[in-house]
Chain A
Amino acid sequence: MRVNVTVNGEPRQADDVWEGESLLYALRERLGLPGSKNACEQGECGSCTVYLDGQPACSCLVAAGQAEGREVRTVEGLADGERLDPVQEAFVECGAVQCGFCTPGLLVTAHDLIARTADPSDAEIREALAGNLCRCTGYETILDAVRLAAARKERV
């Protein structure tokens, strides 16, 4: 089937979509957006997190057909052209990335937290990131990055 979906602000069409296929697969394999990662396909790791109509969701758990007519924003859509989003900058500065597999999902989740919550507490950050697993960093640098991005946002 064909799926029409707005991705990162642009109307897109995915063709030959299998009816049981996930939005994650359609993004990566049919729309050329490999930013969202496939690490578990069962909602456990959060590496595939995208905004779906403004809400973070595991794209591996959304049927591609369910995204028809909806708005998706992936990690590729966070930066403004060449300018990284402040969350992305903070991840770079704090060394919150090792192998990078978890990073796209964490960026989307952290981006959402900071958009919704001014000056999040550590408990709020942990709660917001509870669905994103990282096997490399031990999370401390990720928490640092989220705190830094939130603090910068406060100032602007």
Chain B
Amino acid sequence: MEFLRPVSLAEALEARAAHPDAVPIAGGTDVMVELNFDHRRPAALLDLARVPELFGHSTVDGRIRIAAATPYARIIDELGDRLPGLAMASRTVGSPQIRNRGSVGGNLGAASPAGDTHPALLAAGAEVEIASTRGIRRLPVEEFYLGVKRNALEPDELIIAVHLEPASGPQQFSKVGTRNAMVIAVCAFALALHPKHRRVGTGIGSAAPTPRHAPAAEEFVAGELPWDRPVPLADSLLRRFGELVAEAAAPIDDVRGSAGYRRHALSVLARRTLTWAWTEYSCV
């Protein structure tokens, strides 16, 4: 096995192109579990931890660009005010030790349907910035997920950043699990109100082969919300929103929960997060 240790993005992309069978490792919180248990024995590891371009965040064209390997702890501390949905999702990842190392780039690289940042990225309308020695491209995050643990990366590409609009309205994230810390989501839901555009973003986790939007629910609720009159929402509206979110899911039965439970739980999460977000919207 080889251990590749690039110290710049250019070097990392060259190494990636020269070793398409190398496994990139950022925080290592997914990769090392696979290595420790011999589930994976790659020809090489490509260490991203000393590529300075992959850490930190900046504002680009009014959007926030988070470099791929930036650990969750920094997103929570430094971006919680501008990206509350992503920060909430980040806070539920693993434990403090995991959040000190794990990254959004790693969550996207693993592309587990249960990854907690995916619903928040979907609801916020994030884009993934991808690079190789051939150049840079950007993908809307919903086009990045191709299947269970499959994503749109070519063998010579690395995720280098995600781009998100700073929140222009309330955002929420909610996850069902057996306890507060260290749980893989049974299902998860994220919601973002975009009052400027009168739009509502949604993201569903752990309830389909890939994370996904609930487009019918988004359209319905954007049209029905009393944007100019922040009155409490009618039960019928909340219930319908929950139903449409549950209908957008395609869950399976597994050890963590049944498909029926997941659908029900999603409709509850959808109603709750919308109520919380609307209450916040009404108060400002």
Chain A residues positioned under 8 Å from B181 (CB to CB): 127, 130-131
A63 located at the interface, meaning its Cβ lies under 8 Å from any Cβ of chain B in the complex = yes
Complex interface: stretch among B96-104, B190-198, B243-251, B261-269: B96-104
A55 located at the interface, meaning its Cβ lies under 8 Å from any Cβ of chain B in the complex = yes
Question: Nearest residue in B to A132 (C-beta to C-beta)?
Answer: B95
Q: Are A63 and B3 in contact (CB under 8 A)?
A: yes
In the complex, chain B residues 24-45 whose Cβ is within 8 Å of any chain A Cβ = 25, 27-29, 31-33, 35-37, 41-42, 44-45
Q: Shortest Cβ distance from B41 into chain A, in angstroms?
A: 7
Known contacts A19-B1, A20-B1, A46 near B32 by CB under 8 Å: no
Instruction: A58 to B27: give the CA distance in the assembly, Å.
Output: 10
Known contacts A46-B97, A58-B97, A19 near B32 by CB under 8 Å: no
B182 located at the interface, meaning its Cβ lies under 8 Å from any Cβ of chain A in the complex = yes
Chain A residues positioned under 8 Å from B47 (CB to CB): 63, 65-66
B2 located at the interface, meaning its Cβ lies under 8 Å from any Cβ of chain A in the complex = yes
Q: Are B97 and A109 in contact (CB under 8 A)?
A: yes
Q: Are B96 and A1 in contact (CB under 8 A)?
A: no
Instruction: A19 to B4: give the CA distance in the assembly, Å.
Output: 9
Q: Of residues A58, A62, A66, A128, which shows the largest number of chain B Cβ atoms within 10 Å of its Cβ? A: A66
Complex interface: stretch among A37-45, A73-81, A93-101, A147-155: A37-45
Q: Are B101 and A65 in contact (CB under 8 A)?
A: no
Chain A residues positioned under 8 Å from B100 (CB to CB): 55-57
Q: Are B95 and A130 in contact (CB under 8 A)?
A: yes
Q: Are A63 and B45 in contact (CB under 8 A)?
A: yes
Chain B residues positioned under 8 Å from A131 (CB to CB): 94-98, 181-182
> Residue A20 contacts which of B29, B35, B96 (CB distance < 8 angstroms)?
B35
Count of A-B contacts with CB under 8 A?
92
Chain B residues positioned under 8 Å from A46 (CB to CB): 95, 97
Chain B residues positioned under 8 Å from A42 (CB to CB): 33, 36-37
A68 located at the interface, meaning its Cβ lies under 8 Å from any Cβ of chain B in the complex = yes
> Residue A41 contacts which of B27, B36, B97 (CB distance < 8 angstroms)?
B36
Total chain A interface residues with beta-carbon distance under 8 A? 28
Instruction: A61 to B99: give the CA distance in the assembly, Å.
Output: 12
Instruction: A3 to B5: give the CA distance in the assembly, Å.
Output: 12
Known contacts A43-B94, A131-B97, A131-B98, A63 near B32 by CB under 8 Å: yes
Q: Shortest Cβ distance from B162 into chain A, in angstroms?
A: 22
Question: Nearest residue in B to A69 (C-beta to C-beta)?
Answer: B50
> Residue B29 contacts which of A19, A43, A65, A127 (CB distance < 8 angstroms)?
A43
Q: Are A43 and B45 in contact (CB under 8 A)?
A: no
Closest 8 CB pairs of A and B: A131-B95, A130-B181, A19-B1, A19-B3, A41-B36, A61-B32, A65-B3, A55-B100
Give me 12 A-to-B residue pairs in the complex whose CB atoms sit less than 8 angstroms apart, sorted by A's number. A18-B1, A19-B2, A20-B35, A20-B41, A22-B36, A42-B33, A58-B29, A61-B98, A63-B32, A65-B45, A66-B47, A68-B5
Known: A19-B45, A62-B101. 8 other contacts (CB 8 A): A20-B1, A41-B37, A58-B101, A62-B32, A63-B3, A128-B96, A131-B181, A132-B95
- Residue ranges of A at the interface with B (Cβ–Cβ < 8 Å): 1, 18-20, 22, 41-44, 46, 49, 55-58, 60-63, 65-66, 68, 109, 127-128, 130-132
